[in-house]
Structure 1
Amino acid sequence: MSSEKKSGYRKSFSLIMTFIIMMSVLFAFSLLLAYRFSTKFIENEFVSEKVNVLEQSIKPYNDFFQKKLPEVSYYNGYLDSATACNFVDTVLLEYPFVAKVIFYDSEVRNTPVVNDGLNIGRLTFSPKNIYQFGSLVPADSVLLFTRDKTGNFKVGDDFNALVLKLASYIQGLDTSKVPSQEDLFSNFSNVRANKITYLNIPRIEDLKVYKSMSRRTLDPQPVYQQDMLSFHLDPYKIKIINSRPLLYQYIKIEPLTYDPLDTSDSYLTTEITLPGPFSDYKLYFISSKSFIDKEILSYFLPIALGILLFYGIVVLVAVLIYRNLNINQKMFKLQYDFMNNLTHEFKTPVSVIKIAGNNIKSASSLTDRELKMYGKILDEEADKLNGLMNKLLAFTQIENKAIELNQDKINIEDFIESTVESHRLKHPDFNFTYEVTGFMTFVTDPVLLGSLFDNLAENAYKYSPAERKKLHISARLIKGKVVLRFTDQGIGIPASEINNIFKKFFRIQNQYNQNGSVGLGLAFCKELVNFMDGEISVKSKVNKGTEFKIVLPYND
């Protein structure tokens, strides 16, 4: 049976170890997959996150295009050089990518021909004055053109292109419908490379008049003021917002045709074209592999920790299963030994009683001496059985808190003396000594304390060689506690077994236990001390002896 048990538990251990090895392989494989996933994810992020960087970087441009440009229309064509200068100053301050602004202070007339401007049927669109504003524009170069001095400045493509766009829009204008703001905005602005030209949007009534003016001469001939501003943009002045500094090491603005000379595998690169007037340029992203590896690692570590945690939980469960199997094995062995030893403990006195009974029954007559002998044998063996059953019953009652702790005052010297005397009667070769210091009486449960003394005394006698069957009991009052010490000169307890001796059914394997032991004595002592709100500890040296120390509360 023992071989079968060991074989079964060896098999369980092998299964647990196989499971842990398989989980370890799976753990390593999971880490590898997690790292590859992290690498792929970060590389994809490197490509996709450039859109967010672009959006953040061109946010000021979008704000300029959607909010600042339409402010020109608020002036209804009546911007003068001073007002335009103030407006441009706010633009240059708010939007550094605007390098220069050319302001066309223009008129729309119903005359057939103008020298500087554009003629559309009988509608003419021409500048009165042209100014340029910018941080690098000299003071004497602000005024570029004035109608009074013709020929000193070429009006240029910016002006003509937007006027042609306006003319085309007017020719196709459906006067029965109200045009949308988006339609008006797109037809009164012109986006070219590094440049945005914007014309203030007239009222719908004015546009209807413009259409009439292009077809015939009105009487009287109306004159309308129109303001056109051409914003020259510098893409290199766009402030790059690196929203992923741990992903992108360097971000630059380069021409669309830019092709780096260094194309080695030690770098990751990507690019995205700038929108609108900056479409000839791109954002160019570059990071070294070693720089990207840091971001991969920072993404991988939480995943690895999660996998490690899961693996740790699985291994812990496996260890707990094995531990439970091991505990069950030990419990089974302890119970098996307990039943064997208990059977032996009961069988011995029962056998003696049966033999004595048979002898009495079969004898034709018994002398007085034989009657006394058999009577003594029956009495002693009955006491053994009764003591064993009482110990088991008391142990169970104490464990389940089924009894109450009595509080009686005892004289400690008398108590120890009675214990010594009872054991001297049983074991005449047992040498007892004792001492009491600091107190004479204290309140305790005398029955439980007596059981404690008896068990420790019996242990001291049982586990001592014939020539060293000695026990010294000391009782002292120390710092308001009763400290009892039981010191013998027995065989001692191995250090490896010290932590197990107070466990139920545990027995140290030695020559003194060959005749059987239930393994309840010291466990019973531990339960007694705990029930009395005390503490028990042990110090021992092999072949030198053992000392049990008991600390109990002192109540006078």
Structure 2
Amino acid sequence: MPSEKKSGYRKNFSLILTFIILMSVLFMLSLVLAYRFSTKFIENEFVSEKVNVLEQSIKPYNDFFQKKLPEVSYYNGYLDSATASNFVDTVLLEYPFVSKVIFYDSEVRNSPVNDGLNTGKFSFGPKSIYQFGSLVPKDSVALFSRDNTRNFIVGDDFNTLALKLASYIESLDTSRVPSPDELFSNFSNVRSNKITYLNIPRVEDLKMYKSMMRKELDPQPVYQQDMLSFHLDPYKIRIINTRPLLFQYIKIEPLTYDPLDISTSYLTTEITLPGPFSDYKLYFISSKSFIDKEIRSYFLPIALALLVFYSIVVLVAFLIYRNLNINQKMFKLQYDFMNNLTHEFKTPVSVIKIAGNNIKSATTLTERELKMYGKILDEEADKLNGLMNKLLAFTQIENKAIELNQDKISIVDFIESTIESHRLKHPDFNFTYETSGFKTFVTDPVLLGSLFDNLAENAYKYSPPERKKLHISARLIKGKVVLRFTDNGIGIPASEINNIFKKFFRIQNQYNQNGSVGLGLAFCKELVNFMNGEITVKSKVNKGSEFKIVLPYIDND
């Protein structure tokens, strides 16, 4: 049976160890895969997050193009140079990427102009041209007037939008009202680093423009038609890095920019700017060591989650292994208990049966034989009765089925009666005792007697023939009754100290080969607990043991 138990333990341990090794391999593999996933994810983020950076960085431009320009384009009051100057000042403050604004104070006429566009009877040309900007000298604000051109050529910005206007008017369907989006797209022109737009006229004026293209009207009408050209500087766009832990450097570069010194230790990506900035791009660059920090910050929570999961699995495996061992130990204890209990019962029963058979088969018995058989039957019956009483008392105490009696006893008389009963059973048992601090106290004498008997029996049983000694000490210390039972026996190994008060536990030694059920000290522990006390032990192998019992002191005097 012991070999089977050991093999069972080895089997359980090997299974759990194999399981933990397998889970550890899976854990390490999961960490590797999680790190690779984190690396791939961050590298993909490096490419995809540039869109968010672009959107946030050009948000002021979108606001300018979608709100500010339409707001002024639909301004029907028309501008003069002073009003245009004030407008440009607010634009320059709010939108730093606008470097300069050229204002064309223009007219649509039914008669030819020297500078501008002439198509049919429709003419469009500037009266004056002004430039505004923080770096424009004051003496250079006025660029052109009909009286003084200052050698300034009207140029492509005006002519391109003038042709666009003439084409739109030529194809205009006067039977329907054009939409605002249609008007804005036809009255504006977006070029590299430049946005030019016309002040959008009323629908009635557009119809008049169409009439002016086909014939000369009488009288000849003249309409104010302002034009503004915004010069943009892409390098003044404020870059908003929405992922500072991902993008180490972001800068604006021409589309043709191609660095020559980028090695494999850097990650780069780029995205083209929209609209008038389409000749430029946002260029992103980060070193691998910089990206590794972001990878680790993303990987660590995943690794922590995996570690928690792994720890839970290992803990469950440990608990299963512990429960298996406990169950096996309980099975072994119960098996040993049944074996020993059977032996304990079997021995006196066999002796009683033998004595009974001898009495029954004998024709005559002498007085000496009658006394001998009577003594045998009496002693063996006492053994059976004692064993049954111990089991019954143990069960009753565990289930709180008995009450604690409170009787006053003399400690000296109690110890001496215990010594006397054990000397009768074991003449070679050497007893000594001492008391101090008290003479009587209130307790349950039956339970206390069971406690003394068990500890005395253990002291005799687990001592070599030449050292069968027991010293009992009873003292009153700090209002507590302290009992010490000191023997010179074989002692208890330190590794077994914590187990000796467990039910069915037996130390494997030569004294436990036969006749021990493993209930003695467990019974003592239950007795002391029931009496509201404490029991502890100190022991050295081959030197002896000392059991210390502390009980509450009650004296009715």
TM beyond 0.5:
yes
CA distance in 1, matches of 2:269, 2:217: 60
Q: Give the aligned CA root-mean-square deviation in angstroms.
A: 2.4
CA distance in 2, matches of 1:69, 1:403: 99
Q: Residue in 2 aligned with 1:384?
A: 383
CA distance in 2, matches of 1:306, 1:528: 49
For residues 37-95 of structure 1, the C-alpha deviation after alignment (integer angstroms, 9 at most, x for no partner) is 22222222222121111112111211111122222135324223333222222222222
The question of whether the paired residues in 2 share the 8 Å contact of 1:77 and 1:226 is answered with no
The question of whether the paired residues in 2 share the 8 Å contact of 1:77 and 1:200 is answered with no
AA of the residue aligned to 1:194? N
For residues 81-127 of structure 1, the C-alpha deviation after alignment (integer angstroms, 9 at most, x for no partner) is 33322222222222221111112222333x22112222343333322
- CA positional deviation for 1:13: 3.2
The question of whether the paired residues in 2 share the 8 Å contact of 1:463 and 1:491 is answered with yes
Q: Residue in 1 aligned with 2:346?
A: 347
Q: Residue in 2 aligned with 1:190?
A: 189
Pair 1:7–1:213, CA change in 2 (3 A):
same
The question of whether the paired residues in 1 share the 8 Å contact of 2:491 and 2:542 is answered with yes
CA distance in 1, matches of 2:289, 2:9: 51
Pair 1:349–1:65, CA change in 2 (3 A):
same
Pair 1:195–1:136, CA change in 2 (3 A):
same
> Following superposition of structure 1 onto structure 2, how do residues 148-187 of structure 1 map, counting pairs within 5 Å?
148-150=147-149, 152-187=151-186
CA distance in 2, matches of 1:214, 1:440: 137
Q: Residue in 2 aligned with 1:43?
A: 43
Q: Residue in 1 aligned with 2:69?
A: 69
Pair 1:429–1:101, CA change in 2 (3 A):
same
Q: Residue in 1 aligned with 2:543?
A: 544
- CA positional deviation for 1:410: 4.5
CA distance in 1, matches of 2:63, 2:436: 95
Stretch moving more, 381-390 or 528-537: 528-537
CA distance in 2, matches of 1:217, 1:540: 130
- CA positional deviation for 1:471: 2.4
The question of whether the paired residues in 2 share the 8 Å contact of 1:492 and 1:543 is answered with yes
AA of the residue aligned to 1:31? L
CA distance in 1, matches of 2:363, 2:509: 45
CA distance in 2, matches of 1:555, 1:218: 133
CA distance in 1, matches of 2:268, 2:521: 76
Q: Residue in 1 aligned with 2:266?
A: 267
The question of whether the paired residues in 1 share the 8 Å contact of 2:130 and 2:142 is answered with yes
**1:115 aligns to 2:114 (yes or no):** yes
CA distance in 2, matches of 1:229, 1:395: 107
The question of whether the paired residues in 1 share the 8 Å contact of 2:463 and 2:490 is answered with yes
- CA positional deviation for 1:540: 0.8
- CA positional deviation for 1:254: 0.9
Q: Residue in 2 aligned with 1:60?
A: 60
> Following superposition of structure 1 onto structure 2, how do residues 73-88 of structure 1 map, counting pairs within 5 Å?
73=73, 75-88=75-88
Q: Residue in 2 aligned with 1:356?
A: 355
AA of the residue aligned to 1:385? L
AA of the residue aligned to 1:136? L
CA distance in 2, matches of 1:555, 1:131: 114
Q: Residue in 1 aligned with 2:28?
A: 28
Stretch moving more, 341-350 or 121-130: 121-130
AA of the residue aligned to 1:371? L
**Structure 2 spans left out of the alignment, 5+ residues:** none
CA distance in 2, matches of 1:264, 1:183: 49
CA distance in 1, matches of 2:170, 2:430: 133
CA distance in 1, matches of 2:157, 2:479: 105
Q: Residue in 1 aligned with 2:297?
A: 298
TM-score (norm 2): 0.92
Q: Residue in 1 aligned with 2:225?
A: 226
- CA positional deviation for 1:195: 0.8
**1:237 aligns to 2:236 (yes or no):** yes
CA distance in 2, matches of 1:81, 1:545: 115
AA of the residue aligned to 1:45? E
AA of the residue aligned to 1:58? I
CA distance in 2, matches of 1:150, 1:89: 25
Secondary structure in 1 aligned to 2:526?
helix
The question of whether the paired residues in 1 share the 8 Å contact of 2:84 and 2:103 is answered with yes
Secondary structure in 1 aligned to 2:489?
coil
Q: Residue in 2 aligned with 1:17?
A: 17
Pair 1:359–1:90, CA change in 2 (3 A):
same
Q: Residue in 1 aligned with 2:306?
A: 307
For residues 203-248 of structure 1, the C-alpha deviation after alignment (integer angstroms, 9 at most, x for no partner) is 3333333333333344554443333221111111112122222222
**1:518 aligns to 2:517 (yes or no):** yes
AA of the residue aligned to 2:454? N
Pair 1:472–1:88, CA change in 2 (3 A):
farther
AA of the residue aligned to 1:485? R
For residues 291-348 of structure 1, the C-alpha deviation after alignment (integer angstroms, 9 at most, x for no partner) is 2222222222222233333333333333333333322322222222111111111111
Query: Alignment identity in percent?
Result: 88
**1:92 aligns to 2:95 (yes or no):** no
Q: Residue in 1 aligned with 2:103?
A: 103
AA of the residue aligned to 1:420? I
Secondary structure in 2 aligned to 1:115?
coil
Secondary structure in 2 aligned to 1:397?
helix
AA of the residue aligned to 2:507? I
For residues 245-272 of structure 1, the C-alpha deviation after alignment (integer angstroms, 9 at most, x for no partner) is 2222221211101111124222221111
Task: Count the aligned residue pairs.
Answer: 555
CA distance in 1, matches of 2:351, 2:76: 129
Q: Residue in 2 aligned with 1:502?
A: 501
CA distance in 2, matches of 1:113, 1:20: 96
- CA positional deviation for 1:480: 4.3
For residues 469-519 of structure 1, the C-alpha deviation after alignment (integer angstroms, 9 at most, x for no partner) is 232333344444443322222211111111211122111122221223101
Stretch moving more, 263-272 or 401-410: 401-410
Stretch moving more, 145-154 or 532-541: 145-154
Secondary structure in 2 aligned to 1:132?
strand
Stretch moving more, 227-236 or 361-370: 361-370
TM-score (norm 1): 0.92
CA distance in 2, matches of 1:70, 1:249: 37
Pair 1:81–1:346, CA change in 2 (3 A):
same
Stretch moving more, 158-167 or 401-410: 401-410
For residues 152-171 of structure 1, the C-alpha deviation after alignment (integer angstroms, 9 at most, x for no partner) is 42222112222222222222
The question of whether the paired residues in 2 share the 8 Å contact of 1:77 and 1:225 is answered with no
The question of whether the paired residues in 2 share the 8 Å contact of 1:252 and 1:285 is answered with yes
CA distance in 2, matches of 1:177, 1:155: 34
Pair 1:436–1:107, CA change in 2 (3 A):
farther
CA distance in 1, matches of 2:120, 2:315: 92
CA distance in 1, matches of 2:159, 2:479: 110
Secondary structure in 1 aligned to 2:225?
strand
**Structure 1 spans left out of the alignment, 5+ residues:** none
- CA positional deviation for 1:406: 4.2
AA of the residue aligned to 1:104? Y
CA distance in 2, matches of 1:249, 1:285: 8
**1:124 aligns to 2:116 (yes or no):** no
Pair 1:60–1:401, CA change in 2 (3 A):
farther
